C-alpha cells in the first residue's frame, strides 16, 4: 500500500513538472501575442504551437505508461469552499484564481456533463430503450456492415496509393542528364544531324557557297548557272561506262551491277 | 528626282536613329534567358499534367506545335579577312498548317551564352537573341546570300505560358525526306526536350530568379539547368 502511494506521488510530481513546462510555453506565447502583435509572424506562432503540441503528446504518453497508476481511478474532492481570498492559491495560480469559491469549483472539478447535454443523453437513452431488441440488433448489424465496407474501401485505396507512391519513388529517375546533353547538343550544334546533309538537297547551296567564297564578285544567277555542270558530269561518266561495256559480252553483268550501286 | 535621292538616305538615317534610341533606352527584348532539361518518355504525361496546372493557359490546354528548324551559317563581314566570323541563323517554320509553303517563317539569331561578370551566379543562361518574322522566301534569299545549311531538325511538342515565361516540351526528330519527322527511327533521343525561356531587354536579371523558382516546382521530375553546350561530353554517336 505504501509503495503504491509512493509511486503515485512520484508520478504526480513528474506530471506536475511537465504541466509546468506546458504552462510556461503557453505563457510565452500569450506574452508574445500581447506584446509583439505587430512584428509577430505566422511561422513563429506555428513554431510555438508545435512546441505546445509536442508537450501535450509527451504528457499523454506519460499517462499511458503502465508504471503510472491510472489517475482516472482517483477522485478529487473539494474539501473546502470559501468566498474569501486565498493568498496561497493566488500565488500558486499566478493571480489567476484568487478564491476557491462556488463559482469556480463546478468548472474546475467537473464530474458531470452540462445539464442540457445530460438531457440530450437521456433523450437518446430513452429512444434506445424504446426500440425492440431484435430491430436494434438488425440495425446495428446493418450499420456494422456498412462501416466494414467503407473501411475495406479505404484500406484498399490506401494500399493502392501507397504502392503507387512507392513505385514512383522506386523508379525515381524521370529525366537523364545524358539525354539532356544529347538533345541540347543536337539543337544547338546539330550533333548527329550533319552526316546526312551532304547527300540531301543541301549539296546545291554548299556548292554555291564555295563558288561565291572564291569569287566574291559572283552574283546569284551566275553561281546557279555554274552549278548545273556538277550534276551533269555524272550522267556523262555513266554514258561513258555504258559505251565501254558492250565491247565484251562476258563482262556485261558486271557493269550493270556497278550501275546499280551508283543509283 | 533630286529630292527623292536626297530624301532616301535620310529616311534610313531616321529609322536607324530610332532603333538606336530604342536600344539605348533598353526597351528591345534582345536577351534570352534560358534553362534546359529533359524528361523521359515514360514520365512526360506527369510533367504535362503538372504544367497544365501551373501555367496560365489552364482553360485552353497546352498549345501544340510541329516545327522544322534549319540552321544556316553565313560568313560575317569581319574586318580581319584571315578569320571571317561564322554567323549562325535559324529559320523556323510550322509544318502543321494547311499550307506550310505559304506560312510566314521565323528568322532567329542567337548569340553565344554571355560570360559576363557574375555569370556563375546567374541562375540562367543569358544570350542575345533577335527574332524576325519573315516570308517563306527567306530560304532562297539566304541561299542567294551565300548562306549554307548546317543542319536541320523537326521539333514536335507542347508549349505553355506562365507570365513572361515560355515552356516547351518537345520531341526532336531528324529530318527524313519521306514523311518528315514522327518516324520512330528518326528520334534523336528517348526523352523530351524541356526548355524554359524568356525574352527581355538586357539588364532585367530578376527574371532569372523567377525562372529558377518555377523550375524548382518541376523538380524532381525535371531538372532544368543552364547547360553550356560547349562543355558537353562529345560522346554522341
Among the residue ranges A129-143, A234-248, B61-75, B195-209, the one predicted with the least confidence is: A234-248
Which among B191, B233, B237 has CB closest to A183? B191
Mean pLDDT of chain A: 72
Mutation for testing the B interface, residue in A181, A198, A218 having most B CBs under 10 Å: A181
ipTM, two decimals, is 0.79
- Examine the pLDDT at A217 and tell me if it is beyond 60: no
Average pLDDT value for residue range A63-82: 72
| CB proximity under 8 Å: A 145-204 to B | 173-177, 179-194, 196-197, 200, 202, 204
Residues A140-191 have pLDDT tens digits of 999 999 999 999 999 999 998 888 777 666 556 778 888 888 888 888 888 7
Q: State which residue of chain B sits closest to A197, comparing Cα positions.
A: B151
Domains belonging to chain B, first-starting first, are 28-231 (2.40.320.10)
Distance of CA A170 to the CA centre of its chain: 15
Residue B90 confidence (pLDDT):
93
Residue A114 confidence (pLDDT):
79
Among the residue ranges A140-154, A238-252, B189-203, the one predicted with the least confidence is: A238-252
Higher-scoring residue by pLDDT: A222, A139 = A139
- Examine the pLDDT at B182 and tell me if it is beyond 60: no
Mutation for testing the A interface, residue in B191, B195, B225 having most A CBs under 10 Å: B191
Which among A176, A183, A206 has CB closest to B188? A183
Among the residue ranges A89-103, A229-243, B139-153, the one predicted with the least confidence is: A229-243
Residue B169 confidence (pLDDT):
94
With vertex at residue A200, the alpha carbon angle to CA A194 and CA A203, rounded to the nearest 5 degrees, is: 90
Residue A62 confidence (pLDDT):
81
Instruction: Annotate chain B with three-state secondary structure.
Output: CHHHHHHHHHHHHHHHHHHHHHHHCCCCCCEEEEEEEEEEHHHHHHHHHHHHHHCCCCCCCCEEEEEEEEEEEEECCCCCCCCCCEEEEEEEEECCCCCCCCCCEEEEEEEEECCCCCCCCCCCEEEEEEEEEECCCHHHHHHHCCCEEEEEEEEEEEEEEECCEEEEEEEEEECCCCCCCCCHHHECCCEEEEEEEEEECCCCCHHHHHHHHHHHHCCCCCCCECCCHHHCCCCCC
Higher-scoring residue by pLDDT: A139, A177 = A139
Average pLDDT value for residue range A198-221: 39
- Examine the pLDDT at B209 and tell me if it is beyond 60: yes
B188 vs chain A: nearest CA distance in angstroms?
7
Q: CB B189 to CB A187 under 8 A?
A: no
Q: CB A190 to CB B151 under 8 A?
A: yes
Residue A189 confidence (pLDDT):
83
Q: CB A184 to CB B147 under 8 A?
A: no
Which among A192, A197, A202 has CB closest to B236? A192
- Examine the pLDDT at B116 and tell me if it is beyond 70: no
Average pLDDT value for residue range A129-149: 92
- A130 — pLDDT class (breaks 50, 70, 90): confident
- Examine the pLDDT at B108 and tell me if it is beyond 90: yes
C-alpha cell at A241: 561506262
Q: State which residue of chain B sits closest to A213, comparing Cα positions.
A: B146
Mean pLDDT of chain B: 81
Q: CB A184 to CB B150 under 8 A?
A: no
Q: CB A174 to CB B220 under 8 A?
A: yes
Amino acid at each position: 500500500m505504501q509503495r503504491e502511494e509512493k509511486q503515485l506521488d512520484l508520478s504526480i510530481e513528474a506530471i506536475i513538472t511537465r504541466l509546468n513546462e506546458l504552462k510556461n510555453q503557453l505563457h510565452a506565447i500569450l506574452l508574445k501575442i500581447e506584446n509583439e502583435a505587430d512584428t509577430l509572424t505566422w511561422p513563429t506562432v506555428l513554431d510555438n504551437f508545435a512546441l505546445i503540441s509536442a508537450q501535450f503528446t509527451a504528457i499523454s504518453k506519460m499517462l499511458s505508461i503502465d508504471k503510472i497508476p491510472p489517475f482516472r481511478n482517483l477522485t478529487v474532492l473539494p474539501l473546502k469552499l470559501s468566498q474569501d481570498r486565498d493568498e496561497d492559491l493566488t500565488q500558486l495560480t499566478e493571480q489567476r484564481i484568487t478564491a476557491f469559491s462556488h463559482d469556480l469549483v463546478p468548472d474546475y472539478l467537473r464530474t458531470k456533463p452540462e445539464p442540457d447535454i445530460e438531457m440530450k443523453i437521456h433523450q437518446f437513452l430513452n429512444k434506445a430503450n424504446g426500440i425492440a431488441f431484435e430491430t436494434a440488433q438488425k440495425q446495428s448489424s446493418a450499420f456494422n456492415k456498412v462501416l466494414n465496407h467503407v473501411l475495406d474501401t479505404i484500406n484498399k485505396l490506401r494500399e493502392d496509393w501507397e504502392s503507387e507512391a512507392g513505385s514512383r519513388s522506386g523508379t525515381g529517375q524521370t529525366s537523364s542528364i545524358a539525354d539532356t546533353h544529347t538533345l541540347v547538343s543536337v539543337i544547338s550544334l546539330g550533333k548527329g544531324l550533319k552526316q546526312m546533309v551532304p547527300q540531301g538537297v543541301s549539296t546545291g547551296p554548299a556548292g554555291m557557297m564555295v563558288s561565291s567564297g572564291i569569287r566574291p564578285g559572283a552574283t546569284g544567277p551566275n553561281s546557279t548557272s555554274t552549278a548545273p555542270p556538277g550534276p551533269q558530269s555524272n550522267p556523262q561518266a555513266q554514258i561513258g561506262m555504258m559505251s565501254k561495256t558492250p565491247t565484251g559480252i562476258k563482262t556485261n553483268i558486271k557493269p550493270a551491277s556497278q550501275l546499280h550501286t551508283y543509283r | 528626282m533630286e529630292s527623292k535621292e536626297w530624301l532616301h538616305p535620310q529616311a534610313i538615317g531616321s529609322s536607324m536613329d530610332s532603333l538606336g534610341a530604342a536600344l539605348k533606352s533598353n526597351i528591345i527584348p534582345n536577351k534570352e534567358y534560358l534553362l534546359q532539361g529533359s524528361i523521359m518518355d515514360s514520365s512526360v504525361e506527369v510533367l504535362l499534367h503538372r504544367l497544365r496546372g501551373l501555367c496560365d493557359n489552364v482553360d485552353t490546354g497546352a498549345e501544340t506545335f510541329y516545327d522544322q528548324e534549319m540552321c544556316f551559317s553565313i560568313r560575317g563581314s569581319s574586318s580581319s579577312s584571315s578569320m571571317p566570323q561564322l554567323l549562325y541563323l535559324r529559320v523556323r517554320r510550322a509544318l502543321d498548317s494547311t499550307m506550310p509553303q505559304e506560312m510566314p517563317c521565323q528568322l532567329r539569331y542567337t548569340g553565344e551564352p554571355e560570360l559576363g561578370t557574375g555569370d556563375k551566379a546567374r541562375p540562367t543562361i543569358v544570350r542575345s537573341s533577335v527574332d524576325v518574322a519573315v516570308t517563306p522566301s527567306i530560304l532562297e534569299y539566304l541561299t542567294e546570300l551565300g548562306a549554307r545549311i548546317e543542319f536541320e531538325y523537326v521539333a514536335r511538342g507542347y508549349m505553355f505560358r506562365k507570365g513572361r515565361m515560355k515552356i516547351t516540351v518537345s520531341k526532336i526528330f531528324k529530318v527524313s525526306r519521306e514523311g518528315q519527322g514522327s518516324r520512330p527511327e528518326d528520334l534523336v533521343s528517348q526523352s523530351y526536350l524541356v526548355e524554359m525561356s524568356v525574352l527581355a531587354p538586357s539588364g532585367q536579371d530578376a527574371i532569372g530568379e523567377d525562372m529558377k523558382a518555377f523550375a524548382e516546382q518541376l523538380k524532381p521530375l525535371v531538372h532544368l539547368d543552364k547547360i553550356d553546350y560547349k562543355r558537353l561530353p562529345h560522346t554522341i554517336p
